[in-house]
Structure 1
Amino acid sequence: MGFDKEASSSSRTLEQLPREDTPLLGKPHPLSSQAKTFANVFIAIVGAGVLGLPYAFKRTGWLAGLLMLFSVAALTYHCMMLLVLTRRKLESFDGFSKIASFGDLGFAVCGSIGRVAVDIMMVLSQAGFCVSYLIFIGNTIANLFNSAPARSVGAYMSTKIWGISAKSFYIWGCLPFQLGLNSIKTLTHLAPLSIFADIVDLGAMGVVMVDEGGIIWRNGANIQAFGGLSVFFYGMGVAVYAFEGIGMALHLESEMKDKSKFGKILAIAMAFIALMYGGFGLLGYLAFGENTRDIITANMGKGLISTLVQLGLCINLFFTFPLMMHPVYEIVERRFWGGRYCIWLRWLLVLLVSLIALLVPNFGDFLSLVGSSVCCGLGFVLPTLFHLLMCKEEMSWVGLSVDSVIFVLGIVLGVSGTWYSLAEIFSA
């Protein structure tokens, strides 16, 4: 199983360079109450992906969309708990101390290949989130400041500023400022902006839902319950993306004072988020029907409140970008620069993320791609694999069957969903 006592190393001195068995996370934080743990779970999971849910409901149908959301929520909760149970099993062995992160767990179970698999998927998923942020910022600002109202993605992509599309112009405009923000060695002073971003997300969701409620009351749109099997993988990819936060599961459990109640708090938080997501996606689709845009705020028109909401979301995603890229820098600098700060590596990664954002035309399709590919691997495949390797001897046949089914499902969804999402992106 790749056990190695070196995997238990839980600290790093200034003189030591990071090794394969060095835990990724740094100093421990004060322990959290149940209420704070609930809030931390919420912050770790809820992000910009929620804004693509109404469009996903349009593609999959409202009933299929709800079923997918609730199913993914239950699977994500189950796999988060598998990681926690696997860590507890490992820490019960003599010679193992605290395992701080997903990557540490991968190394403890599967050796270097486990660490590498987690690191690659973490880099791709975090960078993928940042690509989606830039797509959102570019498309939203282009939609807001076009001289003519944009009725489709192509409308504001076809508008030219200095010879390039409006979306590309605004993404390039973000680049110099992002290079500066991402040059900061420590993000301690930017951390509060992450919480502020979630508050703005909630405020924006509230404003959008009130607006949608009024539209439904005046003239509801024609909707469908099922969009057909052809869009199944698309919908699953968006749902998996929306619930992606499994990389924080071990960290959140470590910070909780009463760890025996972590499962209960996590279940309540996941149920709350699932209901909130379901309501938001359903209301958006009910309000706009076939006219639902890939970013739901684009359906709100160009009034003062709508403009403020969209600008607020853009500003907060702009400042959340370096926070989401920080785990990428930790992993890349650790592997290619001895764990030392390297500004040119950071700038190269920011440039690469920006170039990818320029090439992807549709926010919703990119959410599906990231959710189908790396998020399925991180969320379903690796947790069940690690749990099976560690605990199979004491598991019942029911437990073995459940883990095996989720493992296979994760692979099928990942491969099929990635193929479907790439086909959609290239066809656009």
Structure 2
Amino acid sequence: MASEQSPLLSNTHSNNYTPSERVTEKPQQRAAGVTDTDITNEYTSLYPCHSVSNSVNSSDDEVKLSTDSSSFMPHTTNNIETMMNFMKGMLGSGILAIPAALKYSGIWVGFVSLGFLGIINGYCMNMLVHCSDSLCARTGKETMSYSDVAEEAFKAGPRPLRKFATLSRIVINVFLCITQFGFCIVYVLFVAKTVKQMVDYTTPVHLSLTLYMFIMVLLLFPFMFVRNLKHLAPFSLLANILVLTGLIIIVQHCVRGLSTVDHYPPAFAGWKTLPLYFGIALYAFEGIGVVLPIENKMRYRQDFGGWTGVLTTGMVLVVVMYMTLGFYGYLMYQDDIEGTITLNLPTGSLLFLLVKVEFAVAIFITYGLQFYVPIQILWPLAQRRLPANSWSSRHGELILRFIFVLATFAIAATVPQLELMISLVGAFSSTALALIFPPILNIITFWPRDGACGSWKMAKDIAICLFGFCGFTSGTVVTLIKLIQTFNGDRDS
């Protein structure tokens, strides 16, 4: 019902993503003798999630579909709930690394670039939603995941590309797994470094970082047995409360401490380190994997995209928070900024000690959420290749979970540089998912209609894709070189 929608989040779509485009698709080629009425009746009976209008416009041969899903999808969310879920997916450990990112870019270049990257990311998210809506209307599917969109886009795209449909699904799933695996590695490093700093300061005990990571992994094993995402929901809620409280305290601390700043950092740090900034920023902005699942559970799905939709409104709030914490955090600590700003907070204050505990607990308990995604992708693939009702089939998932947790520990212990690991994950996998794949899928999805080589839309998509590819290559290469130099330096010392 219209009265349940928030006026703030009521959607008036842009020219690129209009409601009519969302619910309008050209039908596939018709068999001889099939009438419009036959198509309408067949579509309604096969796909009750969409209602077809009684009239078919013969001039443009378009079928109108209604996307009000409230009548057939249980447990849907309203606009405010949807935005809260979206922001929960965006505000992770990456926001704490934003001040460190500005060290590699310069304060003003980094500050302005955060706004630019936020706009590009939000636009690509809208692009992916638009592709999903269009492909759902064409195929009659109620919902699609990121990999579903890739596969269906290639299936319906230009004929030479259709043979790559299955490969496109695999590629998307591989990058999703790499991203989530990288998040888990960063989480192990973050919690271990935070706990070590607190224990070193408050007690005479001084253990190695590797030992703290090993202890953390042992504590993570109970999460290994959680197979139902519903059981992780209470932990997610607690984590959100802890993160929000901690961010408020950190920002006010940085703002109040500016009176002690006697000089300002450079506006631009140089081209050599800029790719490191790009990787960290893209890591923080990587939330495109949660966009479609959140939209799929929305009561008024037509209110999700567009200039004033839930997605854009949420992205604006996220970008403002990133820019605020990044600017004041780096201005406060400048070249002394750590890979995560929580490591810079005063260790002698009970308040900031509690803040560090808050973030350590929040990141620790959300490990299971990040851990859940790759297992859900990998285990069904492995299970198909195992004999039915065999020991390996019954216990294989637990073995896979065990190996996964140990692998995150092994990599974190081998490469304990937190900000470089964040930059590597962001530059390699987050950039591909956020900036490279969406414009490619947009071109393929709408190729029959908007695929003219001279089209400005195609030029725009290609420009975004090239920008993402430049960040992908430069960020990955520079971060790997930095990691190798750091590793060799530690070994020589």
TM-score, with length taken from structure 2? 0.76
Percent of aligned pairs sharing the same letter? 24
Deviation at 1:419, TM superposition (A): 0.7
Specify the alignment match of 1:355 in structure 2.
410
Specify the alignment match of 1:20 in structure 2.
none
2:188 is equivalent to residue 134 of structure 1? yes
2:292 pairs, out of 250, 273, 282, with 250
Please say which structure displays the higher CA radius of gyration.
2
Contact conserved, 2:199 with 2:206, CA < 8 A, in 1?
no
Offset from partner CA, 1:347-395 (integer Å, 9 cap, x none): 0011001111112232211111111001111111111111111113323
Contact conserved, 2:136 with 2:144, CA < 8 A, in 1?
no
C-alpha distance in 1 between matches for 2:323 and 2:410: 33
* 3-state SS of paired residue (1:188): helix
Q: 1:29 to 1:316 in 2, by over 3 A?
A: farther
C-alpha distance in 1 between matches for 2:213 and 2:447: 48
Contact conserved, 2:146 with 2:289, CA < 8 A, in 1?
yes
Stretch of structure 1 that moved more, 192-201 or 56-65: 192-201
2:117 pairs, out of 65, 69, 72, with 72
Contact conserved, 2:200 with 2:206, CA < 8 A, in 1?
no
1:109 pairs, out of 131, 153, 166, with 153
C-alpha distance in 1 between matches for 2:135 and 2:229: 32
Paired amino acid for 1:68: S
C-alpha distance in 1 between matches for 2:296 and 2:195: 40
C-alpha distance in 1 between matches for 2:337 and 2:264: 11
Contact conserved, 1:131 with 1:354, CA < 8 A, in 2?
yes
Residues matched between the structures, number:
391
Contact conserved, 2:283 with 2:426, CA < 8 A, in 1?
yes
Specify the alignment match of 2:328 in structure 1.
283
C-alpha distance in 1 between matches for 2:473 and 2:261: 40
Deviation at 1:195, TM superposition (A): 2.5
C-alpha distance in 1 between matches for 2:210 and 2:484: 18
Contact conserved, 1:233 with 1:420, CA < 8 A, in 2?
yes
Q: 1:69 to 1:219 in 2, by over 3 A?
A: closer
Specify the alignment match of 2:426 in structure 1.
371
Structure 1 residues 81-96: aligned runs within 5 Å: 81-93=126-138, 95-96=139-140
Q: 1:130 to 1:168 in 2, by over 3 A?
A: same
Contact conserved, 1:241 with 1:370, CA < 8 A, in 2?
yes
Specify the alignment match of 1:181 in structure 2.
223
C-alpha distance in 2 between matches for 1:80 and 1:267: 9
C-alpha distance in 2 between matches for 1:213 and 1:409: 34
Specify the alignment match of 1:99 in structure 2.
143
C-alpha distance in 1 between matches for 2:246 and 2:232: 21
Deviation at 1:420, TM superposition (A): 0.8
C-alpha distance in 2 between matches for 1:380 and 1:269: 18
2:436 is equivalent to residue 392 of structure 1? no
Structure 1 residues 5-404: aligned runs within 5 Å: 30-93=75-138, 95-110=139-154, 111-147=165-201, 161=207, 166-263=208-305, 264-302=309-347, 303-338=349-384, 342-395=397-450, 397-404=455-462
Stretch of structure 1 that moved more, 283-292 or 272-281: 283-292
C-alpha distance in 1 between matches for 2:132 and 2:248: 38
Deviation at 1:229, TM superposition (A): 1.1
2:478 is equivalent to residue 420 of structure 1? yes
Q: 1:177 to 1:284 in 2, by over 3 A?
A: same
Stretch of structure 1 that moved more, 252-261 or 373-382: 252-261
* 3-state SS of paired residue (1:189): helix
Deviation at 1:170, TM superposition (A): 0.8
Q: Taking CA–CA contacts closer than 8 Å with sequence separation of 6 or more, which of the two structures ends up with the larger relative contact order?
A: 1
Offset from partner CA, 1:320-355 (integer Å, 9 cap, x none): 101111011011101112397610011001100111
Deviation at 1:196, TM superposition (A): 2.0
Stretch of structure 1 that moved more, 285-294 or 213-222: 213-222
| Runs of 5+ consecutive residues of structure 2 not aligned to the other structure | 1-27, 29-45, 48-71, 155-164, 386-392, 487-493
| Runs of 5+ consecutive residues of structure 1 not aligned to the other structure | 4-8, 11-26, 150-158
Paired amino acid for 1:100: M
Deviation at 1:169, TM superposition (A): 1.0
2:448 is equivalent to residue 408 of structure 1? no
RMSD: 2.2
C-alpha distance in 2 between matches for 1:28 and 1:318: 33
C-alpha distance in 1 between matches for 2:140 and 2:130: 15
Paired amino acid for 1:313: F
Paired amino acid for 2:411: I
Q: 1:244 to 1:39 in 2, by over 3 A?
A: same
TM-score, with length taken from structure 1? 0.87
